[in-house]
Amino acid sequence: MGTPNAAPPPEPAPDPAPAPPAVPIPDAPAGRAGLAALLAHPERAVVALDFDGTLADIVPDPAKARAHPGAPEALARLAPHLRAIAVITGRPAGVAVRLGGFDGVPGLTHLVVLGHYGAERWDAATGALHAPAPHPGIAAIQAELPGVLDRSGVWHGTWVETAVERKGGRAIAVHTRRAADPQRAFERLREPLTALAERHGLIVEPGRLVLELRPPGMDKGVALAEWVAETGAAAVLYAGDDLGDLAAFAAVEKLRSDGTAGVLVCSGSSEVTELAERADLVVDGPKGVVALLNALADHIENPPQQPDGPGESDEPHGTDEPDGTEGGEGA
């Protein structure tokens, strides 16, 4: 028999809440300095991200692309702590807003979407979309494109229906992902599409199994540099995945040489390696980008305790990386 009137055993202590993932640490000094500056003074920092392949997975039909389910929430968590946040994309700004689900998200009033490599701009604070007139060469190319594709010998099969993406009358993208041999189709189309673009004063921007014909003079590097100058930011993080993001990487490297702290992030894939070779951090596609955004927000909202006295540093503590991320080569 038990002892009469015995005190009940104490309740077991609840398990401690798991610690949030630590922010990954860049290998190179410039990347570490850029990340430290962003985390020390986020109110002076900006974050800019590509859309397709960075916030949204690449899909065979570009019209069916959608932002990662966690992307709007992660952006909304981080944005209020920053000077500003931007999505820089080759898509029309309004299309990126719709596919990203960015309109009306609480906390995203600091967001701008720079579409068509900065030629268009959508501001979340007002919902206003600003866009110049389309380049006249786009209409001429639309008329000639079917014949060029037919003569190439790769323009057949069910993939034809979604191969040509008309970007709001400001650019045309030809996707080969649905071709029987996507890489062969890409290579066979490159020369005739380049000749077509040049005849009408346009350029060809190659990407991940896509060739985009668009006006010269604007790229993601120009758009990023102008936006950073407009905001007066002291630190910038840029994340991208494709060849078109190399210009933005170069812009961040130029800003770093001029004294603005910067971090280069690659949303990694096996299709493009050039960005990974130059990035400070490489993450596992859009899910890794979302994990990084949440880790940055966690660190800013709940900064780790730092020791007092000499040696105190603003660099993020810990070397554990958020799920889906890995340290990249320094730029």
Instruction: Tell me how far apart the alpha carbons of residues 293 and 80 are, in angstroms, rounded to a whole number.
Output: 13
Instruction: Tell me how far apart the alpha carbons of residues 30 and 119 are, in angstroms, rounded to a whole number.
Output: 30
Tokens, residue 213: 């014909």
One-letter identity of residue 302: N
Residue 18 burial (CB < 10 Å; 0-12/13-18/19+)?
Answer: exposed
Of 50, 242, 280, 298, the catalytic one is 50
Tell me the sheet residues that pair with 47: 85, 237
- For 170, the 3-state DSSP assignment is coil
Pinpoint the alpha helices (H) of the chain: 29-40, 71-78, 93-100, 136-152, 160-163, 182-199, 220-231, 246-257, 274-278, 285-301
Torsion of CA 193, 196, 200, 205, to 10 degrees: 10
Q: Is 298 annotated as catalytic? A: no
Residues with catalytic function: 50
